[in-house]
Structure 1
Amino acid sequence: MDLVRLVEEKILSVVERIFAVLDGKTNYHSFELRLKKELDGLGCDLLEYVIEALKQKVEEDAKQDPNWKRVRKDDRKELLTLFGPIVYHRSYYRHRESKEYAYLVDKQIGVTPHMRVGVTLKAELAEASTGMSYEAATIHASKDNPVLKVSRQTVALCVKEFNPKIEPLPQAKRRVSELYIEADEDHIKVKGRKGAQARLVYVHEGIEDYPRRRLKRVKYFTSVREKPEELWWRVLDYLEANYELSSIKRIYLSGDGALWIRQGIEYIPGAIFIVDRFHLAKYILMATAHAPELRKPVYWGIKSLNKQKVLAHLDEALKRAEEQPRQKRIIDTIKYVEHNWDGIENAVKNPHVSCSAEGHVSHILAARLSSRPMAWSLQGAEKMANMRVAKANGESISKQYLEVKTPTPIVVEIKDVIHKELKRLKQIKILGKGYHNNIPLFSSGSNPTIIALKAINKQSAV
Structure 2
Amino acid sequence: MNIITELNRKITTHMSTCLEKAFEEGTGLTGMVESTLALVREMGRDMIEEMISTAEDSLLNSKERSMEWVVQSRNREKTVSTLLGDICYRRTYYKNRESGAFRYLTDELLGLEPHTRMDIGLQSDMLTKAKEISYEQVVQSYDDISIRSRSTVKNLVHRTSMENTNWPNLEDEKRKVRFLYVEADEDHVHQQRGKGMIMKLGYVHEGKRLVNPSCKSKHKRNELIGAKYITGLYPNNDDFWFEVLDYIEAQYDLDYVERIFLSGDGAPWIQAGEDILPKCSFVIDGYHLSKYIKSATGPYPAYEKKLK
The two structures have a TM-score, normalised by structure 2, of: 0.46
- Compare CA radii of gyration and give the structure with the larger one: 1
